Structures are given as C-alpha cells and as structure tokens.
C-alpha cells in the first residue's frame, strides 16, 4: 500500500492471534518465602525483652516458666557490680562495706527512678514500676546478694526478679 501524502510505502501486518501459555514456576518463590519466614520467626521475639547475660556469669538453673519482663538489670560479676551495663561499684568495695546499703548502687538506682518517674509524668503508659532484675553467678556469696537486694528495697525497687536459666 502506498501513501500519497508521504510518498512512502506502508506495510500493514495481518492480525495474528498468538496462543501463548505462560506458567509460573512457584517452587523457587515458595522456597524463598519459607526461608524468609523462618528467619523472621527466629529473630522476632513476641515475649518481650531478650535477656543478655554477661559471658562471665553462670546463672542458676530453675524450672520457672515466667517470661522476662522489661526492667533495669543489676549484674553481679566476680569483679564489678553493673547497672544496665554501667560499672557502679567494685566487688572489693561491696565486700568490705560494713553496712547492707551500697552507696554507689543506691545513687545509680535513685537516678534511674528519677528518670522513670519523669517519663511517667509525660506518658501514662510508662513510669516507675519498682521492678528490677538481678543477674548473678550461681557461686556469689549470699551476703552480696543480700546487700544488693537491701539497697534495691531502700530505693523503692521492691519487685525484684532474679534472672535464671530455664532447665530443659
């Protein structure tokens, strides 16, 4: 066919119907989603805070089944007393103290309580709850644990949770 306006020869195609069948290969996609799902389930914790234990601690074993709750943590190691990972007092100071109250720990807990109460004034959902977790090696002397618990109680942290390893 020739166009008189342009002077070019025009070609027209005859309409053909193609019978093309497309099939999806879902096997690879299902494998990929399964791996992704397993990864997300392993990395997601629906129970709340995951407790990280210091490498030099061996927690006592227990048959308790209560899940950990979000709270500040006191770790009692062989060398240091830590509050949320911050060194508060050396174990030499704690051992040599004649009184049950540990002054450095008390000061740190007072600061934590003040921060919690301030946040609680701004938000109704959060605030000071009086909960604190204690992580201690199974071999720590009872008098140290007693001093730590006494100090917590004096500052108002009366809901004391002892972190343990669950027996399998």
pLDDT tens figures, 8-61: 665 566 666 667 676 767 777 788 888 888 877 776 655 544 555 666 665 556
What pLDDT is attached to residue 66? 67
User: What crossing angle do the helices spanning 103-122 and 142-155 adopt, rounded to 10°?
Assistant: 40
Query: Is residue 72 in a domain?
Result: yes
Query: Is residue 82 in a domain?
Result: yes
Query: Is residue 153 in a domain?
Result: yes
Query: Is residue 17 in a domain?
Result: no
For residue 71, the enclosing domain spans 61-166
Its pTM surpasses 0.85: no
Query: Is residue 152 in a domain?
Result: yes
Query: Is residue 90 in a domain?
Result: yes
Query: Is residue 93 in a domain?
Result: yes
By the 8 A CB rule, do 84 and 73 touch?
Answer: yes
pLDDT reading at 119 higher than 60: yes
Query: Is residue 14 in a domain?
Result: no
What pLDDT is attached to residue 150? 93
Domain count, the chain: 1
**Residue 137 exposed, middle or buried by CB count within 10 Å (0-12, 13-18, 19+):** middle
Burial track 105-125 (b if 16+ CB lie within 10 A, e otherwise): bbebbeebbeebeeeeeeeee
Q: Does residue 112 or residue 42 have the better pLDDT?
A: 112
Q: Cα 116 to the chain's mean position, in Å?
A: 19
End-to-end CA distance of the chain: 86
Band (pLDDT 50/70/90 cuts) for residue 107 is very high
What pLDDT is attached to residue 42? 73
pLDDT reading at 85 higher than 80: yes
């Amino acid at each position: 066919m020739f166009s008189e306006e342009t002077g070019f020869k025009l070609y027209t195609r005859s309409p053909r119907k193609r019978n093309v069948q497309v099939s999806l290969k879902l096997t690879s996609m299902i494998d990929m989603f399964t791996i992704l799902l397993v990864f997300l389930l392993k990395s997601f914790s629906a129970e709340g805070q995951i407790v990280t234990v210091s490498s030099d601690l061996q927690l006592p074993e227990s048959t308790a089944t209560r899940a950990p709750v979000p709270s500040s943590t006191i770790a009692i190691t062989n060398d240091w007393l830590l509050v949320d990972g911050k060194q508060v007092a050396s174990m030499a100071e704690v051992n040599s103290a004649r009184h049950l109250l540990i002054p450095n720990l008390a000061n740190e807990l007072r600061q934590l309580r003040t921060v919690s109460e301030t946040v609680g004034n701004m938000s109704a959902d959060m605030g000071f709850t009086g909960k604190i977790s204690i992580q201690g090696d199974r071999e720590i002397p009872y008098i140290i644990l007693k001093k730590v618990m006494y100090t917590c109680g004096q500052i108002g942290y009366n809901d004391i949770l002892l972190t343990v390893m669950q027996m399998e």
